[in-house]
Amino acid sequence: MDSRELRYFVAVAEELNFGRAATRLGIAQPPLSRTIQQLERRMGVTLFERTSRQVSLTTAGEVLLHEGRRALTALTAAERRTQRAGTRLVLTMKPHSDGGLLEKILTEYAASPSAVEVDVHICGIGEQGKLLREGEADAALLRFPHDDTEGFAYEELLTEPDAAVLPRTHRLADRESLTMADLAGEQLPHWPGNPPNGGPLVRDSGQLQQLIALGRTIALLPASTRHHLGPELAQVPVTDAPTSTLAIAWAEDSRSRPLAAFIQAAVQCAPR
């Protein structure tokens, strides 16, 4: 199976309509239908159930769709990383999520003989993994346990407690410390990828700070974010809050020397 056949199959599987899939691919419908039929014959399985009214995936088709998406993503990622190889690295992260380490890491890395230019890509909440899988980035700063690490290698850099971020006018904002029980009943944000909880859906840190200032939500954020809060917000330690771990992640099959040097610099700058 070549990548063209796989792209054709995925288009039909996602559209469940040969006409729409052909339009999406920019080709005529007859060659698309022939390609799918040839693929089924060569693999010895039926991928689609076809009637005059609808097209649906068979069990074999569902498996190929799952695996095919992953394969095409990996192929695209390989192309993108190859185009950057030896010239630059892309690091992706949420705003202010580096635990105060990024400047030190970049300085340490610049002294390495394997160093190349580093582009820092600031993304929205929960987007780092997608950018890394699709080859838009070579490395990502993730937070455990919140971010998915499937398919990544990683090194842990920093573990820190969460603290409550509140409007400056909040009834608890002047307390020296809080417990999780003190925050019972407070509205927390709805983070992307998590089930709705009645709170506002938050996609970036600027939006989050504005919503907190307006009294629409509070948040539990890593203690290091206090350096980036606006004057209308207060951060209060929570003595029994969960911790989060900052980690640097990369594709587990990477063999890039500049990337390896960058990971080494990050580990060297991590507090011990």
- Which CATH number covers residue 72? 1.10.10.10
Range of the domain at 45: 3-82
CA distances from 188 to 162, 165, 200, 202, 219 (A): 14, 10, 8, 10, 6
Same domain for 228 and 251, yes or no, is no
Identify the pLDDT of residue 79: 83
Query: Rounded to whole angstroms, how far apart are CA atoms 90 and 36?
Result: 37
Structural domains in the chain (count): 3
Domain stops at, among 19, 48, 82: 82
Identify the pLDDT of residue 254: 84
- Read off φ and ψ for residue 173, nearest 5 degrees: -70, -25
Same domain for 78 and 123, yes or no, is no
Identify the pLDDT of residue 75: 86
Domain stops at, among 82, 117, 145: 82
- Read off φ and ψ for residue 204, nearest 5 degrees: -150, 165
Q: What is the pLDDT of residues 22-80, one digit of tens each?
A: 999 999 999 999 999 999 999 999 999 998 889 999 999 999 999 999 889 888 888 88
With a CB cutoff of 8 Å and minimum separation 6, the contacts of 231 are 168
Identify the pLDDT of residue 76: 84
Strand 139-144, strand 88-93: pairing: parallel
Would you give the DSSP letter of residue 154? E
Same domain for 77 and 94, yes or no, is no
The pTM score is 0.76
Identify the pLDDT of residue 20: 95
Angle among Cα 83, 85, 90 to the nearest 5 degrees reads: 90
Same domain for 10 and 30, yes or no, is yes
Contact predicate 161/246, CB 8 Å? no
Would you give the DSSP letter of residue 190? B
CATH number for the domain spanning 100: value is: 3.40.190.10
Same domain for 102 and 213, yes or no, is no
CA distances from 227 to 104, 129, 160, 221 (A): 16, 25, 14, 12
Same domain for 18 and 67, yes or no, is yes
Identify the pLDDT of residue 83: 78
Domain stops at, among 20, 52, 82: 82
Q: Which amino acid is at 114?
A: S
Q: What stretches in the chain show pLDDT beneath 50?
A: none
| Residue 247: alpha-carbon gap to chain centroid | 13
